[in-house]
């Protein structure tokens, strides 16, 4: 059931995963395109931006009770069309949004 919700939901999932089963499953399922980071990483935004731009999968691991507000536009999928290109504003800069981003 959780796998169905994770793969078919219109919003990005938050998995509470004390036994790391979901993380293991996601890493196997998305092994070709998955990038991972934690909010404690110095520059977690750079690989996240690249994943968004090129339609790759991205996983934040070890998320605490609060999220960095920099990822709010991404989690809310605040995209807009600029001509035929879907865009998102991150760090006050417009960047392309690939619909394959997960």
Q: What is the pLDDT of residues 47-82, one digit of tens each?
A: 999 999 999 999 999 988 888 899 999 999 999 999
In a domain, 102, yes or no: no
Note the pLDDT of residue 46: 94
Alpha carbon separation from 32 to 13, 16, 28 (Å, rounded) = 20, 24, 9
In a domain, 83, yes or no: yes
Task: Give the pTM.
Answer: 0.86
In a domain, 89, yes or no: yes
CATH number at residue 82: 3.40.50.300
In a domain, 35, yes or no: yes
Note the pLDDT of residue 97: 97
Contact 53, 96 (CB under 8 A): yes
In a domain, 51, yes or no: yes
Domain that holds residue 89: 2-96
In a domain, 71, yes or no: yes
In a domain, 26, yes or no: yes
In a domain, 101, yes or no: no
Shortest CA distance to 71 belongs to which of 85, 58, 84? 58
Domain count, the chain: 1
């Amino acid at each position: 059931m959780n796998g169905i919700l994770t793969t078919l939901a219109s919003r990005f999932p938050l998995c509470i995963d004390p036994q790391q089963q979901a993380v293991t499953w996601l890493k196997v399922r998305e092994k070709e395109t998955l990038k991972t980071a934690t909010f404690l990483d110095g520059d977690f935004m750079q690989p996240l931006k690249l994943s968004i731009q090129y339609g790759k999968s991205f996983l934040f691991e070890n998320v605490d009770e609060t999220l960095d507000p920099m990822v709010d536009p991404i989690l809310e999928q605040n995209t807009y069309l600029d001509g035929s290109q879907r865009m998102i504003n991150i760090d006050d800069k417009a960047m392309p949004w690939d619909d394959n981003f997960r």
